[in-house]
Amino acid sequence: MCKEIVLSLFLVDCVSFCVTYNKYGGYNNVFSWKQVGYDFGGMIYRNSTDFEYKEDAIHFIQELNDSEKFFIQNNNVPIGFEVYKDKVFITVPRRRYGIPSTLNYVQLKHGVPSPLLRPYPDVEKSKTFVSIYRPRVDSCHRLWMVDTGHLEVPGERKQIQPPAIIVYDLKTNQEILRHELDPSIIVNERTSAGLTSITVDVHPKACEDAYAYINDLATEGLVVFSLKDKKSWRLNHQSFRHDEEAMNFTAAGHVITWRDGIFSIALSAPDDEGRRTAFFHPLVSTQEFAIDTSVLKSKAGSLEGHVKLLGNRGPNSQSGSHDIHQATGVMFFANVAQDAILCWNVKNELSPENVVVAAQDRKKLAYVSDLKVIGDNVWALTNQIPKFIFNTQNLNEDNYFIQRYNVQDLIRGNVCEKSVKKY
């Protein structure tokens, strides 16, 4: 019956409409790609191409090495995303050669299942970015991102330009801020490439008084930026470090031996005084930590004595991005160790019984690389990156997915639906 309603009325809304009777089915697909292609202002690239097409350009036939090639399709792995109105931003960090554009967008409304990526804001300006991971939109219609400035090609790593926070006004698509991070935040040559997410702390009535929290998973620290003061600084704490005991989990069928530290920072709703709690965890860890954001805003250096260990999520709960659904207080985790999305109601004690698998899919959730709560939906970008790294990708099937799940659907009947116990 639902199907009929959908066909006649809400073609696009099927996703949010039909979810109620089927929990883990295929209806959640927003996009999927075998491999990505690009639309460069009308120039279409559906396959590897040595040169960017330009009018009147003459190319001599010659063997190019990879660093000179414009588009090496298989090297283009989407890693981060964000949604603003009809635009879905998709990033492709430069971890290999042959990436035409690191910050891109596609449009939702066209309903194309595997759209070509378009450089944001346009072809020319997109060339000012080196490598971007997980951008975020704030409540003031701005897109925030960290350009690591770092080319991460194995064996040929290179810092092209200093890492910077870049902010775009989404109403005008103009760059409104470029802040080179303070050199004191850099621990060593690996730091820049570890700046893989940004969380914006702002009230929509005080847009100029914003703070951004950036994880450094490589040299295991946290960077804070004050928009008002145009200053950035670094914080250190043991809780930002990976846990050797939580290593060697399996993701997308491969054993992961990375030592990634702090990966994601999720904010609670503000309390009566406007203060939020920042929740965070390293990728290689099964613990979750919390800190009052007023401490992040006021301190530099060591956070000794300010971080609270909330508890342990349980075995195989290693997770990347996480985010909170403010209306229900449920936190969702991109659980890479079980190809799943976990949930935990923050009103409950953090213990293995209170953290459950809300969705699992050995393909479409095989390494959720970015996760975000938008309205009453949880969006996830899956890229199966272990398969890319270990060269086991099948180019004839879908490898990259953007999925969308309704929050009520993810928590119905499980321990996340209500608070079981105060602590």
Ligand X SMILES: *[C@@H]1O[C@H](CO)[C@@H](O)[C@H](O)[C@H]1NC(C)=O
Which chain residues interact with ligand X by CB under 6 A? Answer: 46-48, 65, 67-68, 245, 247-248
Q: How far apart are CA 69 and CA 48, in angstroms?
A: 9
| φ, ψ for residue 125, nearest 5 deg | -70, -30
CB atoms within 10 A of CB 38: 25
Structure tokens at 132: 């971007």
Q: 31 — phi, psi (to 5°)?
A: -140, 155
Nearest distance from C-beta of residue 49 to ligand X, angstroms: 9
Positive/negative CA dihedral, 157, 38, 405, 377: positive
128 or 248: whose CB is closer to ligand X?
A: 248
Q: Which is nearer to ligand X, 68 or 271 (CB)?
A: 68
Rounded least distance, CB 37 to ligand X, Å = 9
**Of 68 and 86, which has the nearer Cβ to ligand X?**
68
| Among the listed residues 94, 117, 97, the one whose alpha carbon sits nearest the alpha carbon of residue 45 | 117
Q: How far is the CB of 73 from ligand X (least distance, A)?
A: 7
Q: How far is the CB of 417 from ligand X (least distance, A)?
A: 33
Measured from the CB atom, the residue of 248 and 394 that comes closer to ligand X is: 248
Name the minimum Å distance from CB 92 to ligand X: 18
Residue placing its CB nearer to ligand X in the complex, 246 or 331: 246
Using DSSP, state whether 267 is helix, strand or coil: strand
Which residues partner with 62 through β-bridges? Answer: none
CB of 248 to ligand X, least distance (A): 4
Q: Which is nearer to ligand X, 49 or 215 (CB)?
A: 49
For residue 318, give every residue at least 6 positions away whose Cβ sits within 8 Å of its Cβ, in sequence order, or none: 246, 249, 251, 283, 284, 285, 286, 335, 336, 337
Among 207, 201, 343, 358, smallest CA distance to 269 is for 201
